[in-house]
Amino acid sequence: MNDAAPNAAPQTFYLKDYKPFGYEVESVKLTFQLSPNATKVHSAIRFSPKADAEDNRFFLHGEQLSLISAKIDGTPVTARLVDGGLECDVPRTSFLWEAEVEIDPAANTALEGLYMSKGMYCTQCEAEGFRKITYYPDRPDVMSTFTVRIEGDEPVMLSNGNPTGAGEGWAEWHDPWPKPAYLFALVAGDLVNHPGSFTTKSGKDVELNIWVRPGDEGKCAFGMEALKKSIKWDEDVYGLEYDLDLFNIVAVDDFNMGAMENKGLNIFNSSCVLASPETSTDANFERIEAIIAHEYFHNWTGNRITCRDWFQLCLKEGLTVFRDAQFTADMRSEPVKRIEDVIALRARQFPEDGGPLAHPPRPEEFQEINNFYTATVYEKGAEVIGMLKRLVGDDNYYKALKLYFERHDGQACTIEDWLKVFEDATGRDLSQFKLWYSQAGTPRVKVSEDYADGTYTLTFEQSTPPTPGQPEKAPRVIPMAVGLLSPNGDEVRATEVLDLTEAKQSFTFEGLASKPVPSILREFSAPVILERETTNSERAFLLAHDTDPFNRWEAGNALAKEVRVAMVLDGAAPDAAYLDALEKLVRDDEQDPAFRALVLSPPSQSDIAQTLHERGHTPDPQKIYDAAETFTQTLAQQLETSLPRLYAATTVEGPYVPDADGAGKRALNGRILSLLTRLDGGEQAARQYASADNMTQQYAALAALMKAEKGEAQSKAFFEQWQDDRLVMDKWFALQIACAAPEATAATAKELTQHPLFSMKNPNRFRAVMGALAGNHAGFHHASGAGYQLLAENLIALDSVNPQTTARMCAAFQTWKRYDSERQAQIQAELERILATSGLSRDTHEMVSRMLSA
Ligand code: BES
Ligand code: ZN
């Protein structure tokens, strides 16, 4: 039942090879007879040959299926089983294909196809999981209506669309909207629902449900409110209405991803929907709100209009990430959301784009599509849409989107279709802009300036380093948002978007009384790396005066990086002027607490490593760690006298509400507590731990204590209190590794893999431990190599259980070329060890060989 061992020559798929399927699928009827180890799936599919088909090979995908019988128009036929599916001789007119297969959901630990999680049946079909359920043309450009009958003795049995009948031991569903198979879903088990309802703008009543395992009912209210807000927002902002009478969400514990947008039946990793003040942090609440919105928004951007093939993945994911970011900005704070997204982009996408796994937002080849649900497809895909919106302007953006929905509703589309809509709506030629979809790599933009006789000139030079398979890059369209400040801090030119189109280009500003201070790349208007000679005092000036909140934060962030880089490279002491600027900002109660918390959050150590690497230095993880420690200790001492007052002033009293305001205050309060804990021996944190009535404050206190190595008692107490709550336990596992000193990180992680609650079968738990290991920069990259070794061992062990999660976590090694030759040799040895594993999955094989070959 295992995938064939693909160590030899795995197949590569190319965008240029696209050919439509030779048959129309008119309808699909599926009958499931559920049984944990022997579920029978009967399919009845009406096919009709396309008159104009270039290729009429009748090939149906199928993997890990036992074929029991196949019929055409009621007559048994012999299908030829071939690699990855079957072929059959079929009539040249419309016919009914019927097949019966048997599958083993209980043995399915890969969590793709039909599987079981804690006794509950559950599916995950995107991208190519439907072929593990039955034989089918499992490609997104084949769309059909589905009728589903589920037979079994589960109390609740759900599928897509609307319920059409149910009785003792069976339930039937019909989804009237044609959809690709990847949006199919089935859930069956002992579930309870948290109900809700929504009346759409045209007056249709929609029944909403969040289905959970008994015991989790109390954690659904926040998700339900988020769902209603999402439905309303999509009506208000995009004019898009929901299109079924029912919208179901199901929470499942064992899930490879965050959540999945199956039509009318979204399936969520329980970590991305279940929330309560006692068990979830502010960050969890924000993420849950965003992901519920994201999956809901897919109903139009993904489901009603889907992708022609998987190379077009960013058509739905980039756009939907862009939409969910707009939603979060509207629900919470626009600048805070922007800053958070840029931090994440730099942490995840920039390293990807600058390393061996670099690929364009629309890749042109893959071996395993699951490996391309990447930061580039998602986050850079969303950035590209943000740039498009900036270039054409808001009105044109919404005009183009309206045209997109009118023109392509019900279709499976390409990036070309998407850009054509913008061209038609605006009359603009987007052929150069399209390079953003085909070129990999993060452009560098070098800025120089000149001032004479009242005229200020900014000159931009763009270039993009080579990436695998793309040695040369053409200049792209880069929307560069720029404002100018006078030396006294007034804004003398409001934000203007300069469209860079050439390798080198200058822009002039006339009539300036004195040389201005430029504020460049406001709102982070393009995903590029800006290179500009500037001074720390100019950065401090922008931190104090810029009218663009993003660039105010950016100035502080750049300053923080410079200070740390200087500490690492020259052993410099923390810059006193910077410490003063920080102190001033932290004490300035006029400033948004969330913003102050962000400015107070140090750049990540991995970010410093990346910056050093970009500047041609070899990062030393231990030195970066030491600099971070010294800096934070010095900052704590500098703020010593004001910390108790700041702590008190930012403490949020009263019942916990997970709103943006409260979250911002708690974030600042948490930063202050962590500084305070370095000075008071943990007294305040211990008090906060003891009195906290919500997870945000309990966790912040525990983290501060553990970081200071003063949290042993609280960590024990935390375990005792929460050992039966799997989501909180994930935090407990991760935190111990995140807080470990570099030399103790691997050992701590290793010990936790021996813990009775550790499991290879639950992706959340595996990620809690191995993700925390990879995320502890100095610990993972400790010179002993123990971190690399531990991760490799665990990835090898996980691969035969769950290839998809293994392959994703391999990316922890993608930055390996940044480091010194000893570390590179250690990582290379681990990567080679993984690659030599017999029976290695296609997923992991592809990731590791890409990392090794670049
Ligand atoms: N369609 C994806 C889920 C998915 C990803 C299925 C990969 C199969 C393979 C879903 O819409 C999604 O993008 N989920 C994200 C979260 C989102 C907020 C970006 C996820 O699961 O991480
Ligand atoms: Zn998505």
- How far apart CA 463 and CA 174 sit, in angstroms, is 53
Is 373 close to ligand 1, i.e. is its CB under 6 Å away?
A: yes
pLDDT of residue 6: 45
Count CA within 13 A, CB hemisphere, residue 25.
28
Query: Strand 144-151 vs strand 23-33: parallel, antiparallel, or unpaired?
Result: parallel
- Examine the pLDDT at 4 and tell me if it is beyond 60: no
Q: Exactly one of 154, 261, 295, 368 is catalytic; name it.
A: 295
Please state the rounded mean pLDDT for residues 117-136: 98
Q: Model confidence at 854, in pLDDT bands (50, 70, 90)?
A: confident
Kindly report, residue by residue over 314-366, the tens digit of the pLDDT. Answer: 999 999 999 999 999 999 999 999 999 999 999 999 999 999 999 999 999 99
Which ligand 1 atom is the nearest neighbour of the CA of 258? 21
Whether 295 is catalytic: yes
The residue whose CA is least distant from atom 6 of ligand 1 is 126
Hey, what amino acid is at 388? Answer: L
Q: Please, what's the b/e burial string for 182-204 (b: 16 or more CB within 10 A of its CB; e: otherwise)?
A: bbbbbbbbebbbbebebeeeeee
Sign of the four-CA dihedral 85, 90, 93, 98:
negative
Ligand 1 center from residue 255 Cα (angstroms): 11
Please state the rounded mean pLDDT for residues 181-195: 99
The residue whose CA is least distant from atom 8 of ligand 1 is 126
Is 127 close to ligand 1, i.e. is its CB under 6 Å away?
A: yes
Which ligand 1 atom is the nearest neighbour of the CA of 259? 21
Which ligand 1 atom is the nearest neighbour of the CA of 269? 21
pLDDT of residue 10: 86
Ligand 2 center from residue 320 Cα (angstroms): 6
pLDDT of residue 5: 47
Ligand 2 center from residue 671 Cα (angstroms): 32
Please state the rounded mean pLDDT for residues 391-396: 98
The residue whose CA is least distant from atom 19 of ligand 1 is 321
Please state the rounded mean pLDDT for residues 48-63: 95
DSSP per residue, 85-99: EEE----SS-EEEEE
Kindly report, residue by residue over 567-603, the tens digit of the pLDDT. Answer: 999 999 999 989 999 999 999 999 999 999 999 999 9
Is 808 close to ligand 1, i.e. is its CB under 6 Å away?
A: no
pLDDT of residue 1: 38
State how far Cα 783 lies from the chain centre: 30
Please state the rounded mean pLDDT for residues 756-760: 98
Kindly report, residue by residue over 639-684, the tens digit of the pLDDT. Answer: 999 999 999 999 999 999 999 999 999 999 999 999 999 999 999 9
Ligand 2 center from residue 656 Cα (angstroms): 30
Please state the rounded mean pLDDT for residues 369-373: 98
- Ligand at shortest distance from the CA of 128: 1
Is 291 close to ligand 1, i.e. is its CB under 6 Å away?
A: yes
Is 261 close to ligand 1, i.e. is its CB under 6 Å away?
A: yes
pLDDT of residue 8: 56
Kindly report, residue by residue over 142-164, the tens digit of the pLDDT. Answer: 999 999 999 999 999 999 999 99
The residue whose CA is least distant from atom 1 of ligand 1 is 260
The residue whose CA is least distant from atom 22 of ligand 1 is 258
Please state the rounded mean pLDDT for residues 394-406: 98
Is 126 close to ligand 1, i.e. is its CB under 6 Å away?
A: yes
Kindly report, residue by residue over 98-115, the tens digit of the pLDDT. Answer: 999 999 999 999 999 999
Ligand 1 center from residue 105 Cα (angstroms): 22
- Ligand at shortest distance from the CA of 257: 1
**436, 433, 438: which is closest to 501 by C-alpha?**
433
- Examine the pLDDT at 2 and tell me if it is beyond 50: no
- How far apart CA 143 and CA 137 sit, in angstroms, is 10
Which ligand 1 atom is the nearest neighbour of the CA of 378? 19
Ligand 2 center from residue 208 Cα (angstroms): 20
Cβ 13 vs Cβ 134: under 8 Å: no
DSSP 239: -
* CB proximity list for 306: less than 8 A, separation 6 or greater: 140, 141, 143, 179, 180, 183, 316, 411, 412, 413
Ligand 2 center from residue 343 Cα (angstroms): 20
Please state the rounded mean pLDDT for residues 524-535: 96
Is 295 close to ligand 1, i.e. is its CB under 6 Å away?
A: yes
- Ligand at shortest distance from the CA of 378: 1
